[in-house]
């Protein structure tokens, strides 16, 4: 009897991890495509860079599933895992690019390394120290959010979810503004775009889970997917801010990148349908 139970549990675990890997691959591929779509015309297509997000997305989803055992293949769990893997991959890559990676910044209009008033901080040690403080601050915010699960409060669930979405959205907005504003100027509407999107997603995800950590992280993941889709595909010929005013060095990619649009749309539509299905069931 015991061996039968262990066999069933093991089979279910393997199946859930297999499903998680697929979800992570899809989220990572989604990120890789929008990352390539505009950048490739300026810096070319690099298979290694493209594969980075795909692999990290899969590993993030596997790690999350192994740690938290989401009830896959339930539609609600699929929706949340896609957003969680998306946020985890984006967090790892952005922290690495901003605080760790050593790269010539002259090719950018907006520096990708951590900068102060638009001037890159040259010392890698100093950047890593700032990055560690940033990660600690974000972790502290998530710990506070986690306490909402167990803490007593008279606030309705929707209000809690909206506040959680607002907090993580403001974190995203501050990071973007710190990087972009010294070169582009401060845009109030652009600043509040991320908080508005994360609040909307948080209200949706509050119908799928009572974990505010899941709500917070998944909202960031879907916010990144939504905002980057808007920026990259609704204005295809407008250069990304980091390459503003820079020459198009790889014009052949304008045509080649179109081959990536169908799979991108397929992943986007599938994710959207899963959200609708999860909310309605």
CA angle 208, 86, 248 (to 5 degrees): 140
* pLDDT one-digit tens code per residue, 39-90: 999 999 999 999 999 999 999 999 999 999 999 999 999 999 999 999 999 9
Structure tokens at 42: 């300026």
Q: What is the number of domains present in the chain?
A: 1
Q: DSSP assignment of 216-243, as one string?
A: HHHHHHHHHHHHHHHHHHSSTTSPPGGG
Owning domain of residue 158 = 2-280
Average pLDDT, the chain: 90
The pLDDT score that the predictor gives to residue 241 is 86
**Taking residues 88-107, what's their average pLDDT?**
93
pTM score? 0.91
Question: End-to-end CA distance of the chain, in Å?
Answer: 34
Burial 229-259 (b: 16+ CB within 10 A, else e): bebbbeeeeebbebbeeeeeebeebeeebee
Q: Please state, in angstroms and rounded to a whole number, the distance separating the CA atoms of residues 225 and 106.
A: 28
**Taking residues 109-115, what's their average pLDDT?**
92
* pLDDT one-digit tens code per residue, 229-256: 999 898 888 888 899 889 899 999 999 9
């Amino acid at each position: 009897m015991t061996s039968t139970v262990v066999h069933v549990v093991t089979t279910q675990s393997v199946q859930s991890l297999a499903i998680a890997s697929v979800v992570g691959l899809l989220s990572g591929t989604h990120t890789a495509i929008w990352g390539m779509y505009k950048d490739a015309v300026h810096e070319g297509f690099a298979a290694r860079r493209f594969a980075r997000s795909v692999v990290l997305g899969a590993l993030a989803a596997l790690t999350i599933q192994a740690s938290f055992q989401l009830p896959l293949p339930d539609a609600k769990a699929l929706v949340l895992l896609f957003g969680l893997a998306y946020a985890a991959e984006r967090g790892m890559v952005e922290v690495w690019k901003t605080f760790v990676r050593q790269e010539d910044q002259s090719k950018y209009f907006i520096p990708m390394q951590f900068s102060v008033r638009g001037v890159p901080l040259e010392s890698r040690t100093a950047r890593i120290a700032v990055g560690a403080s940033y990660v600690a601050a974000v972790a502290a915010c998530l710990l506070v959010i986690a306490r909402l699960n167990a803490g007593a409060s008279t606030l309705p669930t929707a209000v809690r979810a909206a506040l959680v979405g607002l907090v993580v959205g403001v974190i995203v907005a501050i990071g973007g503004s710190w990087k972009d504003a010294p070169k582009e100027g401060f845009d109030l509407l652009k600043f509040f775009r991320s908080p508005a999107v994360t609040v909307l997603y948080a209200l949706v995800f509050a119908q799928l889970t009572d974990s505010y950590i899941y709500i917070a992280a998944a909202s960031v993941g879907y916010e990144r997917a939504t905002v980057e889709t808007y920026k990259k595909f609704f204005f295809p010929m407008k250069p990304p801010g980091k390459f503003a005013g820079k020459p198009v060095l790889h014009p052949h990619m304008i045509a080649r990148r179109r081959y990536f649009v169908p799979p991108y749309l397929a992943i986007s539509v599938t994710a959207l349908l899963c959200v609708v299905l999860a909310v309605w069931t």
